[in-house]
Structure 1
Amino acid sequence: MKMEDRPLVHVARMPIRWGDMDMMGHVNNAMYFTYLETARIDWFTSLGCGPNPAGEGPVLINASCTFIKQLEYPGNIEIRTFIGNFGRTSFETFHQICRVDQPDVICAEGAAKVVWVDFVAGKSTPLTDELKARFAAPLPA
């Protein structure tokens, strides 16, 4: 399934900072993971589901990124988050990173599997139907 065929659930924008670049003059590959993490936390927080060490919250069990086109300072990026399949305690997320001034040019694609965790018990916990509905709610057109 193509990423665009999945529900778009969140869009985050942020600047490319001078310090994000490496000596080769482009954004360091590790920064792409930071951009994706920042977008995911923004999404979770906007849904009232941010990490809560005294309760429940999201934990990544894997993450990937495919680098398609270099990003360079200055500029702003947009990270689009799409929802994937749900399991009993986990769900898939997919991401696109584009420059705001070139929204049709995908610079990177990422993915992460998120497990819902009871932090006090120290183990995964089933996703409720209410949580699944909250995560799967597409952005208004």
Structure 2
Amino acid sequence: MSNKKQVHTMRQAIRWGDMDAFGHVNNTVYFRYMESGRIAFLEQAAGDLEIKGEGPVIVTAYCNFIRQLKYPGEIEIRTFAGPAGRSSFEVTHEIRMVDADGNADVVAAEGGGKVVWIDFAAEKSVPLPARVREMLPVG
């Protein structure tokens, strides 16, 4: 994503239950961390995301694992968005480890996907709401 804008930052604790038998955060949990950042951004941009009428779905998702995360610890999830299409936009995330001094300089994973706004009943894409479009960078 060439023209991206940081749209949200949040921190959360790594939970003991996030780890697997190998003693590190399970790879599937990274997608939950990215989901947390994406949903927090969308709620900030569009308000409550109750399932009624229309809303966001993710149609692609990927993650590049760079460093292991372990319990106990804290992470920072930085969310970036790309320019709006008619009904969609790209979103990327950086999952960063928070050190003892509270700095989040080390990237543990990078990932993202494509968000499409849909009419749930019709199961078809619809134009992005203006309130979401306003939060995105200009193409």
- Residue equivalent to 2:118: 117
Render the CA deviation track for 1:101-124: whole Å, top value 9, x for unaligned: 251110000111000111132211
Q: Could you list the runs of 5+ residues in structure 2 that have no partner in the other structure?
A: none
2:125 & 2:43 partners in 1: Cα distance?
19
The more displaced of 124-133 and 34-43 is 124-133
- Residue equivalent to 1:36: 34
2:52 counterpart letter in structure 1: A
Q: How far does residue 96 in structure 1 lie from its aligned partner after superposition?
A: 0.1
The CA RMSD measured in Å over matched residues stands at 1.9
1:100 to 98, 101, 109: 98
- Residue equivalent to 1:73: 71
Report the secondary structure of 1:86's partner residue: coil
Relative distance call for 1:39 and 1:19 in structure 2 (3 A) is same
2:131 & 2:25 partners in 1: Cα distance?
38
1:99 counterpart letter in structure 2: M
Relative distance call for 1:46 and 1:129 in structure 2 (3 A) is closer
2:46 to 45, 48, 52: 48
Report the secondary structure of 1:47's partner residue: helix
User: What is the identity percentage for the equivalent residue pairs of Structure 1 and Structure 2?
Assistant: 50
The answer on whether the counterparts of 1:68 and 1:108 sit within 8 Å (CA) in structure 2 is yes
Render the CA deviation track for 1:12-55: whole Å, top value 9, x for unaligned: 11110011001111100000001111111111112234433222
1:132 aligns with 2:133: yes
TM-score (norm 2): 0.87
For this pair of structures, how many residues does the alignment match? 135
TM-score (norm 1): 0.86
2:60 counterpart letter in structure 1: N
Q: How far does residue 94 in structure 1 lie from its aligned partner after superposition?
A: 0.6
2:70 counterpart letter in structure 1: E
- Residue equivalent to 1:91: 89
Q: Could you list the runs of 5+ residues in structure 1 that have no partner in the other structure?
A: none
